């Protein structure tokens, strides 16, 4: 008989089962710890799932991130975890930090008190819900105590040593609950002020929201590492999060870059996908979806946030989407975002998909106009399996994405602080120029005709980035929070910045910018510095400082005085160029970016002796993989052509091409057979399955492949000579019928096709 801490008693078979589970968890934790210590465990590809293992979702990535600690009918959380381990996966854990299955906390089951007053509330008193009895949370100290005791502890007791707390989100329109008002008083030392009454109140409110989730993650992860250490485990902690660009546009507050300096944060997952990347933006006076360009910048801003700190970064995208689309739309945009993430050659860790259950088992619309739904087309499932399995082999590379290097845009967490509401001298004003509305992601984004009134669609950011990215320049990003790190400016020659859409949270960032410019860096500063957030009570106008705007502190530190006129000013070995326009004016007006490009071109030539080259494409080679994207609305309508022995990895038939022509608005993902390492060795070059147990004999090559049930496998195999015999048998030793076998003499590859099986299919190719 055993008395548990909750007062219940366990005896007999139940006691034996409980003890067995506890011993198993401890042994697993020890094995995982030893594996990590010896460097034997690979965690390169992952996916997140709320379900247990099943044949149709067996995607064969390295890590299955099990979502939530809730028990299911007939299955405990621990059994869900074990179902993936039994199939050879490393098991990790994920849950929401701002929302989740925490009904026992809100309903009072945990401590006898209901806590719905800790939900995020709007001005009218409505709670912002994520689901049934699931509000978005004001992360109070009491909630964090619950979260650590009920969630984190159970996860570590299950032997899991990698914890992902996703989406630390506080809505900008929230900030009216009693719980938030109490946190305000504790943080600022004075009574709560309604955020809608002034720009300063908005800024203070959003700054507090930012702090609350910084605190929440710091506390939860500190507990996880401390408790894990007490059990002999090295617990690693990650934050899956949307990009700073998306949160700023969707009017959500999150700690973002500030977490990079927290010692208890080991890395991030970048949640960029079609749903975030298709949000429209302005260029050349036109607002529309630019999915590739937006995804490229989303991945770039998260890379910039992480790389200087040495933290691990996973890139994620999604073969489907949360809102209604059809299969053709999903496929097109999946290719677009997939290509975008590959243009960062120093990142090769990926969350290959969220929620495989909804992808492989779900049904979606067959066309834009039809209400008919159907499962994923088999051609698409084969294609995405080829794509995600290639990520298991994706190398890092020293190569650079083609185009002029060294032009970067500065961004900061305070981008999130100015998005809602819009103020004019302390009053929310009606903008007569708002002429239409665009509904996306449950929100309305406004398209003003007058660019002087607000910052629609983050145009003050895109106004600096798109004039160059659209012309084939792989624009980089620098985070203001990271400028103190040695590597922050490693790839930057010319830095584009503005305080029209963000503000510096610390004076020391200006000291670092000045140091960089004096050492030879160049800043192009664009801004009228007249938005109402310039005068919020902050460090630049407090404690003896009296700057009218934060830029004046920067200018004075550079020795050019407050309120400088337009012009180029030498500063040490570098210089600063001041343009008295807000960046949104470069893109919201047709042809408006001329002045920016002219200044950057001249300063870049001065700094490097080279020219800013314009083109309509981006291209990158990573080992045998080649990625190309051709931009529309840019320099020309000419296609980009890649030549060689190329396997088209976006084509489920895996054809071998002599050349691939990529047209404007298109992307390509190719495997170049001419660049194969150890070309004399038989090997699988591309496959809609994962390869195991490879054996090379005299005149033969055998291996086992595994993939989700109900999907078609296609693979291209490099062998020294034309095959004489190909045998394919399933996991029970039965010969697989109807196998597709084709030989391509020019590439010395064999194309094979058959049904995937989670239990494995054994293939043997003989050529003698």
Per-residue pLDDT of 654-700, as tens digits, reads 999 999 999 999 999 999 999 998 889 999 999 999 999 999 999 99
Structure tokens at 456: 């629609």
Nearest CA to 553 out of 567, 565, 563, 543 is that of 563
Bridge partners of 438, per DSSP, are 445
Closest CA to 747 of 716, 768, 714: 716
Predicted pLDDT of residue 324: 82
Residue 5 per-residue DSSP state: T
Angle at 511 between CA 509 and CA 512, to 5 degrees: 65
How far is Cα 477 from Cα 56, in angstroms, rounded to an integer?
Answer: 40
Q: Which residue has the tokens 């290959």?
A: 352
Return the pLDDT at 40. 53
Q: What per-residue confidence (pLDDT) applies to 400?
A: 98
Tell me the two tokens of residue 736.
């697989």
- Upstream peptide bond of 421 is cis (omega within 30 degrees of 0): yes
* Residue whose tokens read 């054994």: 762
Domain 683-766 has CATH 2.60.40: yes
Q: Is 307 exposed, middle or buried (0-12, 13-18, 19+ CB in 10 A)?
A: buried
Q: Are 473 and 461 spatial neighbours (Cβ–Cβ below 8 Å)?
A: no
Cβ pair 373, 363 in contact under 8 A: yes
For 7, the token pair is: 């007062």
Query: What's the pLDDT at 261?
Result: 78
Please state, in angstroms and rounded to a whole number, the distance separating the CA atoms of residues 348 and 341: 9
Rounded CA gap, 717 and 608, in Å? 46
Residue listed under structure tokens 């390295």 = 62
**Exposed, middle or buried: residue 481 (CB in 10 Å: 0-12, 13-18, 19+)?**
buried
Can you tell me the distance from the alpha carbon of 161 to that of 63, in angstroms, rounded to the nearest whole number?
12
Q: Which residue is listed with tokens 């007249």?
A: 530
Ordered DSSP codes for 285-348: TEEE--HHHHHHHHHHHHHHHHGGGT-EEEEE--SS-SS--BHHHHHHHHHHHHHHHHT-TT--
Distances from the Cα of 420 to the Cαs of 538, 565, 573, in angstroms?
Answer: 19, 30, 40
DSSP string, 652-701: TT--EEEEEEE-TT-EEEEEEGGG-TTTTS-EEEEESSEEEEEEEETTEE
Q: 228: which residues sit within 8 A by CB, 6+ positions away? A: 156, 161, 234, 235
Q: Quick one: tokens of 112?
A: 């006898």
What are the extents of the domains in the chain?
A: 1-41, 43-391, 617-675, 683-766
Asked if residues 371 and 324 have their Cβ atoms less than 8 Å apart, the reply is no
CA distance 571 to 607: 13
CA 291 – CA 317 distance, rounded (Å)? 12
Cα gap 118→176, rounded to integer Å: 10
d(CA 297, CA 80): 36
E strands present in 373-426: 373-375, 407-411, 423-424
Spatial separation of the C-alpha atoms in residues 230 and 511, rounded to whole Å: 42
Chain centroid to Cα 575, Å, comes to: 34
What pLDDT shows up at residue 20? 45
SS3 750: strand
pTM above 0.95, yes or no: no
Query: CA–CA separation, 724 vs 489, rounded Å?
Result: 57
Give the start-end residues of each E strand in 230-289: 236-241, 252-253, 267-271, 281-283, 286-288
Nearest to 662 by CA among 633, 648, 636, 642: 642
φ/ψ of residue 71, rounded to 5: -80, 150
Residue pLDDT, tens place only, 102-156: 999 999 999 999 999 999 999 999 999 998 999 999 999 999 999 999 999 999 9
State whether residue 596 is helix, strand or coil.
helix
Instruction: Write down the CATH number for the domain with range 43-391.
Output: 3.20.20.80
Q: How far apart are CA 397 and CA 689, in angstroms?
A: 24
Half-sphere exposure of 293 (CA within 13 A, CB side): 31
Calpha distance 159→91 (Å, rounded) = 9
- 368 DSSP 8-state letter: S
Q: How far apart are CA 169 and CA 166, in angstroms?
A: 9
Averaged pLDDT of the chain: 90
Distances (CA, A) of 201 to 181, 264, 339, 613, 745: 13, 31, 41, 45, 71
For helices 178-188 and 199-230, what crossing angle results, to 10°? 90
pLDDT of the residue at 81: 98
How many CA atoms are closer than 13 Å to the CA of 412, on its beta-carbon side? Answer: 20
Residues of the chain with confidence (pLDDT) below 50? 1-39, 422-453
Is the Cβ–Cβ distance between 301 and 271 less than 8 Å?
Answer: no
**Looking at residue 147, what DSSP letter applies?**
I
């Amino acid at each position: 008989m055993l008395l548990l801490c909750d007062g219940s008693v366990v005896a007999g078979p139940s006691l034996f089962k409980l003890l067995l589970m506890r011993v198993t968890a401890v042994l697993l934790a020890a094995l995982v710890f030893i594996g990590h210590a010896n460097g034997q465990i690979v965690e390169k590809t992952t996916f997140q799932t709320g379900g247990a293992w099943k044949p149709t979702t067996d995607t064969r990535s390295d890590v299955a991130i099990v979502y939530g600690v809730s028990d299911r009918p007939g299955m405990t959380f621990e059994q869900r975890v074990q179902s993936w381990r039994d199939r050879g996966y490393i098991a990790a854990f994920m849950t929401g930090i701002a929302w989740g299955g925490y009904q026992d906390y809100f309903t009072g089951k945990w401590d006898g008190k209901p806590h719905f007053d800790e939900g995020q509330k709007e001005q009218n008193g409505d709670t912002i819900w994520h689901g049934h009895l699931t509000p978005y949370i004001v992360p109070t100290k009491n909630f964090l105590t619950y979260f650590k005791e009920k969630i984190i502890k159970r996860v570590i007791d299950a032997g899991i040593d990698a914890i992902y707390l996703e989406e630390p989100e506080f809505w900008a329109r929230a900030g009216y609950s009693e719980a938030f008002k109490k946190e305000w008083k504790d943080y600022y030392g004075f009574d709560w002020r309604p955020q809608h009454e002034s720009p300063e109140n908005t800024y203070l409110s959003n700054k507090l929201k930012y702090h609350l989730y910084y605190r929440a993650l710091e506390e939860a992860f500190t507990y996880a590492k401390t408790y894990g250490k007490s059990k002999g485990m090295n617990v690693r902690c990650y934050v899956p999060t949307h990009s700073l660009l998306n949160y700023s546009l969707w009017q959500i507050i999150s700690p973002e870059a500030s977490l990079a300096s927290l010692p208890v944060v080991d890395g991030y997952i970048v949640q960029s996908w079609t749903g975030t990347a298709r949000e429209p933006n302005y260029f050349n006076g036109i607002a529309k979806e630019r999915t590739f360009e937006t995804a490229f910048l989303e991945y770039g801003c998260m890379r910039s946030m992480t790389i200087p700190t040495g933290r691990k970064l996973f890139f994620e995208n999604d073969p489907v989407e949360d809102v209604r689309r059809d299969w053709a739309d999903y496929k097109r945009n999946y290719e677009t975002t997939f290509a975008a993430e590959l243009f960062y050659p120093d990142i090769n860790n990926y969350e290959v998909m969220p929620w495989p259950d909804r992808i492989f088992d779900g049904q979606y619309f067959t066309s834009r106009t039809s209400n008919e739904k159907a499962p994923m087309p088999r051609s698409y499932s084969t294609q995405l399996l080829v794509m995600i399995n290639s990520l298991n082999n994706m190398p890092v590379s020293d190569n650079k994405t083609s185009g002029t290097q060294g032009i970067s845009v500065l961004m900061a967490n305070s981008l999130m602080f100015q998005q809602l509401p819009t103020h004019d001298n302390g009053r929310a004003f009606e903008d007569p120029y708002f002429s239409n509305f665009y509904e996306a992601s449950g929100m309305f984004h406004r398209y003003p005709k007058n660019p002087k009134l607000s910052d629609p669609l983050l145009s003050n950011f895109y106004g600096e980035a798109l004039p160059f990215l659209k012309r084939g320049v792989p624009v980089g990003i620098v985070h203001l929070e990271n400028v103190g790190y040695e590597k922050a400016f490693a790839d930057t020659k010319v830095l584009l910045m503005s305080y029209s859409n963000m503000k510096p949270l610390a004076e020391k960032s200006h000291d670092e910018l000045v140091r960089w410019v004096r050492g030879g860096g160049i800043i192009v500063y664009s801004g009228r510095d007249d938005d109402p957030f310039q005068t919020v009570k902050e460090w630049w106008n407090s404690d003896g400082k009296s700057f009218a705007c934060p830029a004046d502190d920067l200018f004075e530190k550079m020795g050019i005085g407050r309120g400088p006129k337009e012009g180029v000013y030498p500063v040490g070995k570098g210089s600063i160029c001041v343009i008295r326009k807000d960046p949104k004016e470069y893109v919201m007006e047709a042809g408006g970016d001329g002045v920016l490009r002219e200044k950057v071109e001249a300063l870049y030539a001065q700094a490097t002796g080279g020219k800013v080259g314009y083109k309509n494409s981006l291209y990158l080679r990573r080992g045998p993989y080649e990625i190309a994207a051709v931009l529309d609305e840019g320099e020309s309508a000419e296609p980009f052509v890649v030549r060689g022995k190329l396997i088209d990895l976006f084509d489920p038939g895996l054809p071998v091409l002599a050349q691939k022509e990529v047209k404007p608005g298109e992307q390509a993902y190719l495997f170049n057979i001419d660049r194969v390492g150890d070309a004399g060795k038989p090997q699988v070059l591309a496959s809609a399955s994962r390869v195991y147990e490879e054996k090379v004999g005299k005149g033969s090559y055998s291996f086992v492949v595994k993939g989700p049930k109900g999907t078609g496998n296609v693979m291209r195999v490099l062998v020294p000579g034309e095959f004489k015999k190909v045998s394919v048998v399933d996991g029970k030793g039965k010969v697989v019928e109807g196998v597709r076998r084709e030989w391509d003499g020019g590439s010395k590859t064999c194309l094979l096709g058959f049904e995937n099986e989670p239990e494995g299919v054994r293939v043997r190719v003989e050529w003698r």
